[in-house]
Structures are given as C-alpha cells and as structure tokens.
C-alpha cells in the first residue's frame, strides 16, 4: 500500500474511462464479462464475472442501481477497496 507521498504503478491491458455517456464496450466484448447491452454485470464488490476485473459508473449494472453521479462515486470507493483486497490476498 502506498503512503501519501508515494505512488504505485499497476500494469493494465486496457483502461476504460467514460463519464456520463453510454459506454462503448467494443474493446472488451471478447472478455466474457457478463455484458448486458451497454453495461457489465457486477457483484456487490463491483467485480465482474471475470476474477480481478472490476467495473463502476456507467459501465456497471446490478439490481436496483440508481444512475447518478453520487452512485458512481460510491461505486468507485467500493471498487477501490475491493481491488485492494484482491491484490493483497495471496492466490
């Protein structure tokens, strides 16, 4: 875990950024992520069907979701904590 004055680089094949738009999932269709229309199904930890892949905001779909900026911000916090747990848990 990085301290306040440190940074950590995490390698990634792809980072999707979409704010207030209908997501274009063309780049990840073959990843078998539980895509439902323009959205990706996630669990309560914001993890997709594929272990170690998380989605938030306009991309994420789950029962009862309210599509608001505040929801996306909260999902980001949830996903961040989930990613940290994922990375810190030995395989």
Structural domain boundaries in the chain: 34-88
User: Which residues, in sequence order, are CB contacts of 42 under 8 Å at separation 6+?
Assistant: 34, 48, 54, 55, 56, 60, 61, 62
Give pLDDT, residue 21: 67
Q: In this structure, what are the phi and psi dihedrals at residue 7, rounded to the nearest 5 degrees? A: -130, 155
pTM over 0.85, yes/no: no
Q: Cα–Cα distance between 81 and 21 in angstroms, integer?
A: 25
**pLDDT at position 3, please?**
67
- Name residue 40's beta-bridge partners: 35, 60
Per residue of the chain (91 residues), what is the pLDDT tens digit? 556 778 888 888 887 776 666 777 777 878 888 887 888 899 999 999 889 999 998 889 999 998 888 999 999 999 999 999 999 998 7
The position carrying tokens 């914001």 is 46
Q: What is the pLDDT of residue 76?
A: 94
């Amino acid at each position: 875990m990085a301290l306040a004055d440190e940074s950590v680089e995490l390698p990634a094949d792809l980072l999707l950024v979409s704010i207030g738009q209908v997501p274009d999932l063309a780049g990840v269709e073959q990843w078998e992520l539980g895509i439902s229309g323009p959205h990706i199904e996630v669990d309560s930890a914001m993890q997709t069907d594929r272990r170690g892949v998380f989605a938030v905001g306009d991309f994420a779909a789950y029962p009862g979701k309210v599509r608001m900026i505040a929801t996306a911000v909260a999902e980001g916090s949830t996903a961040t904590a989930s990613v940290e747990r994922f990375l810190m848990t030995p395989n």
